[in-house]
Structure 1
Amino acid sequence: MQLYVDLIWLLNLLFDWMILLLVAWVTKSSFSHVRIFLGALFASLIIPLTLLFNWGVVDSPIFKLGYSVFIILIAFSYQHFKAFLTRFLSFYLINFSIGGAVFGLHYFITTNTDMVINNHAPFGDTISWVVVLIMFPIAVYFTKDQLQQLTMFKLRSQQQFPVTILHQNRHVALNSFLDTGNQLKHPLTQHPVILVDEPTFKTWIDEETVELLKRTEQMDFWGLDDELQFIPYQKAGGEQGLLPAFLAEEVKVDLGQQIISTKKVYIGVHYGHFSKQMDVQCLLNPLLLQSKRMRVKDVEGVS
């Protein structure tokens, strides 16, 4: 029987590429799509090497561990050992988690007759193609959301971060506090909402409009700034309210070793100041640090 090694290799390449992307997302690593592809390409070469040359050493655990080290080094730039080890262990954890789920799904939907037929297929298992091309991306999408929840634990030990907000060609640098109780989102777009104090809000919205918003309980929307939107929220006592907010052009959060940025964040106003004890002008929303649209950039010289 003739084997189409190129098709089997392509199946493995797609799987490795999606695994490495998931590693980057989960570990909040900055990455290059070119390097991710090269890492997946190198990882997939083990298939033709095994089939064409029949090297026994390829099956040894030591060789596989060493091969995985080179996969991570190719896919991600080396910064320090801790970051490398996190990506390396995440690579295996995600491989076992997603691979096990895919194998279980494959076993669940495959009959004994299908297994006999597919074992003689020259281009690989048909169901494997269906799983990788359709079910695997869906599994990645939902797994990414769940695994990103774990990254919040390490951020809670350090809750103050420098923030830069860009809007109307004005960059404003602020000290922010990560408020894990702030789960406010725009009801239609589901984009997170962060709060800034009144003096900061007046950087973009004129003082007359802000004073009008403060005084008016039965709000008349006519004549107000067109870019303002009013997001419903619930106060501590259960009372309903409307929060004036606008969509920022970009928000950057400095996490120390990394800077994350996103363009899908609403800026709401908190009248007055947040605290007399802390120099804080902004309350961060934890959903901001879990956004799928978030971009990550490493800070040079930080280890």
Structure 2
Amino acid sequence: MYIYADVVLIVNCIMNSVILVLTAHAAGISYSWKRLLPAALFGGVYALSGIFPELAVLYSIPGKLLMSVVLVLLAFGYRTVRTTLVLVGAFFIVSFILGGATLGWLYFIQTEAPQQAGNYLDMSWSSLAAGSVIAVMLVTLIARRLMGKMIRRRNFYQVRIEYNGQNKDVTGMLDTGNNLYSLLGNKPVVLLCWQSAIQLLGSQAAGYLTSTSPAAWLSNLHECQDAAWLARVEVIPCQSVGGKNMLLGFRPDGISVRTEDGLAYTTEVLIGLYDGVFASDRPYEALLHPALITGAHITKEVSVCA
């Protein structure tokens, strides 16, 4: 039997590239071709190493798990333990769907009965391409939704907002699509339901927000008697469905987010007041900016035993 190393390498590089792109798509993260293509080449070399008996250990279950983790790290880099685990899980889901869909398509187009065809399957390039197209469609329609639900379930955090000596504990959801910053662009914005905000503010500021229509919060600010709060108020530009808009925001003393890696704390942040409800099926009171997790100072919590 002849093994054409160049064909094996090229086919595996192409398939690895497809799998890695779909993995990023399913997990909802960005990727760089400068990292992805070398990772795909590494996967092709790994597949080619199967012709050497002395490297058979790499094809054991632990070896395959290790190579999968290495492939994901090469393609996307190390972010956090949780993100890496999500990417590895997405990688296996995409690989199984891709392989299963391709094999299912080959069986589907087989016109002879299994007893007559034996172990033969049509492995032509056109059949493989058609199976791959079907697999891509399945991953796009199914895997992205499954991974999206899993990621959303794990993207809720306990948040403490500090303002003028008062603390407010809320549940926040990390919103990777939140790109709101202050006018100067140096402070990320956390959107907070105004009903939660008035429990943190003083009586005068809370009374103003309660008695004034949200549409008039900015235009009627002169009616608010809380001078200390007004000194912290900022206008936040945002993009809405109808065009550009403005949000009322204020500077808290600080925000701490409890993450798996420790307590993320920052004072460089703005609170934007949201006049609606984020979700009814899974109630949370704030939409967190990604910079609070990736850019804030994280301290490891330790326990002290007496």
Instruction: Output the TM-score relative to the length of structure 1.
Output: 0.51
Contact 1:176 1:284 in 2 (8 A): no
Which segment drifts farther, 23-32 or 87-96?
A: 23-32
Question: Which residue is 1:299 aligned to?
Answer: 294
Give 1:159's match in structure 2, choosing from 172, 187, 209.
172
Question: Which residue is 1:260 aligned to?
Answer: none
Q: Using the TM superposition, give the Cα deviation of residue 116 of structure 1 relative to its aligned residue in structure 2, in angstroms.
A: 4.1
Question: Which aligned pairs between 1:276-287 and structure 2 lie closer than 5 A?
Answer: 281-282=273-274
User: Deviations 1:83-137 (Å, cap 9, x if unpaired)?
Assistant: 3333223322332233223322232223446974746xxxx654113322x3233
Question: Which residue is 2:32 aligned to?
Answer: 32
CA distance in 2, matches of 1:80, 1:101: 31
CA distance in 2, matches of 1:35, 1:145: 22
CA distance in 1, matches of 2:298, 2:102: 38
**Alignment length (residue pairs):** 207
Q: Using the TM superposition, give the Cα deviation of residue 284 of structure 1 relative to its aligned residue in structure 2, in angstroms.
A: 8.0
CA distance in 1, matches of 2:62, 2:152: 34
1:89 match: secondary structure: helix
For CA contacts below 8 A with separation 6 or more, give which structure has more relative contact order: 1
Contact 1:160 1:176 in 2 (8 A): no
Unpaired segments ≥5 residues, structure 2 = 158-170, 194-213, 220-238, 246-256, 260-270, 280-289, 300-306
1:175 aligns with 2:174: no
User: Deviations 1:141-166 (Å, cap 9, x if unpaired)?
Assistant: 21354222333223456336695547
Judged with a 3 Å threshold, the aligned counterparts in structure 2 of structure 1 residues 83 and 302 are, in CA distance, closer, same or farther, namely farther
Amino acid at match of 1:50: G
Q: Using the TM superposition, give the Cα deviation of residue 61 of structure 1 relative to its aligned residue in structure 2, in angstroms.
A: 1.9
Question: Which residue is 1:136 aligned to?
Answer: 135
CA distance in 1, matches of 2:12, 2:94: 15
Give 1:198's match in structure 2, choosing from 215, 218, 238.
215
Question: Which aligned pairs between 1:32-71 and structure 2 lie closer than 5 A?
Answer: 32-51=32-51, 53-54=52-53, 55-71=55-71
Unpaired segments ≥5 residues, structure 1 = 179-196, 208-227, 232-244, 249-255, 258-278, 287-295
Question: Which residue is 2:233 aligned to?
Answer: none
Contact 2:17 2:37 in 1 (8 A): yes
Q: Using the TM superposition, give the Cα deviation of residue 37 of structure 1 relative to its aligned residue in structure 2, in angstroms.
A: 2.0
Amino acid at match of 2:45: L
1:246 aligns with 2:243: yes
CA distance in 1, matches of 2:278, 2:13: 37
1:281 match: secondary structure: strand
Question: Which residue is 1:235 aligned to?
Answer: none
CA distance in 1, matches of 2:174, 2:56: 52
Instruction: Output the TM-score relative to the length of structure 2.
Output: 0.51
Q: Using the TM superposition, give the Cα deviation of residue 58 of structure 1 relative to its aligned residue in structure 2, in angstroms.
A: 3.9
Question: Which aligned pairs between 1:269-280 and structure 2 lie closer than 5 A?
Answer: none
Q: Using the TM superposition, give the Cα deviation of residue 74 of structure 1 relative to its aligned residue in structure 2, in angstroms.
A: 1.0
Aligned-residue Cα RMSD (Å) equals 4.5
CA distance in 1, matches of 2:78, 2:50: 28
Question: Which residue is 1:87 aligned to?
Answer: 87
Contact 1:161 1:175 in 2 (8 A): no
